[in-house]
Amino acid sequence: MRLKNIKGAREAVEHNPLVILEPEGLKGRWRESFGNNHPLYVEIGMGKGKFLYEMAGINPGINYIGIEKYSSVLLRALQRMDEKPLSNLLFIRMDAENVEKVFGEGEVDGIYLNFSDPWPKERHAKRRLPSREFLKRYDKFLKKEGVLEFKTDNKGLFDFALEELSPAGWEAVKVTFDLHNDKEMAEGNIMTEYEEKFSSKGNPIYKYIIRR
């Protein structure tokens, strides 16, 4: 998602106290920033933040961090927080390529990837967020028994993501090729912005839950 560059977005994001500008400095100390000892879940490639904002509203006993690359997109998530703030949600504007520098070993309880960019050219495979290169990064900070949940409507990306598991030392706990018609996995499902858009066109939604 690359919204048109919104004038002033970069500055607005940088002046918002909910956006952590030097997240590496909090590595291993994220619970202090939230002022509690609650579990920590991270969405990488959050977009405008619909999913994470709703999750944080439903689960006040869990802390959430949304990571997004673009200021113009992140700004939309911040606007939701202006309307109705939540104390358990913070944001980082960064390229997730360096995500392992931000969280300490075992600091994160769960990771969400939702409708990650497909990067269809083979030479860009390493940029795909469910690629083995990224799984190795997540391995460094996801706690031992933690899980990663990935949803997409892109069959090619989903097949790729499944193939990446074994070489990276991960295994599927649950897999569905039609989330919205899978009674067990659909229970409590919070739709993301892209999920609403693509499922309304009739596209099936693929999802896995994985662990090491």
Q: Is 190 in the site for ligand SAM (CB under 6 A)?
A: no
Contact string (CB under 6 A) for ligand SAM, positions 121-160, x = contact: ----------------------------------------
178 catalytic, yes or no?
no
| Token reading at 17 | 């106290």
Q: Is 117 in the site for ligand SAM (CB under 6 A)?
A: yes
| Stretch of residues binding ligand SAM (CB under 6 A), selected from 102-110, 136-144, 170-178, 193-201 | 193-201
- Residue 188: count of CB within 10 angstroms of its CB: 6
Find out whether 48 and 1 touch, Cβ atoms under 8 Å: yes
Q: Name the minimum Å distance from CB 14 to ligand SAM.
A: 17
Find out whether 114 and 194 touch, Cβ atoms under 8 Å: yes
By CB under 6 A, name the one of 30, 115, 170, 208 that touches ligand SAM.
115
Q: Name the minimum Å distance from CB 169 to ligand SAM.
A: 21
- CB-based contacts of 50, cutoff 8 Å, min separation 6: 80, 191, 192, 193
Q: Scanning residues 58 to 77, which ones bind ligand SAM (CB under 6 A)?
A: 67-70, 73
Give exposure, 44-77, as e/b (b: 16+ Cβ within 10 Å): bbbbbbbbbbebbeeeeebbbbbbbbbbbbbbbb
Q: Scanning residues 24 to 53, which ones bind ligand SAM (CB under 6 A)?
A: 45-47
* Residues that are catalytic: 117
